[in-house]
Amino acid sequence: MYIAKCGQDGKFSEGELAPFGPIALNPSSGVLNYGQGLFEGLKAYRKPDGSILLFRPEENALRMQTGAERMCMPAPSVEQFVDAVKQTVLANKRWVPPTGKGSLYIRPLLMGSGAVLGLAPAPEYTFIIFASPVGNYFKEGLAPINLIVEDKFHRATPGGTGSVKTIGNYASVLMAQKIAKEKGYSDVLYLDVVHKKYLEEVSSCNIFVVKGNVISTPAVKGTILPGITRKSIIDVAVSKGFQVEERLVSVDELLDADEVFCTGTAVVVSPVGSITYQGKRVEYGHQGVGVVSQQLYTSLTSLQMGQTEDWMGWTMQLN
């Protein structure tokens, strides 16, 4: 794993690789007491020729900088972030699965590691990157997932931290997710906190609604994480002739859609087989994988894995 420290001067050390293992933290560190932490997630893929590809790591670096500003933390430069990701992947390259068998999930973590008993930004920060081989996020794989619309719990509020990848955003969705999974659903779809009728996102994925040739997704307006897979899928969809709209999307539109899918680093594209809202269940595509979901999944994953030419310039090859 990669480790770099940052003191009160706001400058990160050069960083070094160390064996993966436990880290020492002061009990009064900012991250443990006040949740002053951010994480990122990205993947490395093995090409058919054995070389390794990263997918848009600079986008994760920029998103971490945005989140760090919101959480009163310094952040590594884009150059340091990308270099640290490269170092970590190359040090773990034997763990990158063969083409089509999974990927190496990379987890950058930025946290207030310095001791701070009063409520204030920590005096020291630690930037860590570790990695793990992964298969499919949902046990269904590229098979339809079943979502329930949550109208009691909310993921984010206007003016809050819903648009940054801060650690506290994720612990707060566990209760609703646990209840949903106990009822047999794959995950939870959240609504906006003000009107309680506009779609926000799934616990850890963005949502897309297809009607005819139009693909709609909630606009990123402060309560929704600006997903990098989301951004990439929008560009791929436009290149394939779809009309993509980023706007308020209501539950009524969701229930009337031809097809629904989620996007995220972990899932890439996950088709939705059914939505349950206030006891009413709506199914899409006879529980099969939708045509649009399949088309976009194939286009993006073949690019990520180096099976087709990277016409977007999104991948970065490691030697």
Which of 254, 199, 249 minimizes the C-alpha distance to 223? 199
Paired residues of 105 in beta bridges: 43, 132
Q: How far lies 280's CA from each of 27, 151, 258, 260, in Å? A: 47, 13, 17, 16
Active-site residue, from 139, 165, 181, 196: 165
Cα gap 283→109, rounded to integer Å: 38
152 tagged catalytic: no
Cα gap 258→36, rounded to integer Å: 41
- Catalytic sites, residue numbers: 165
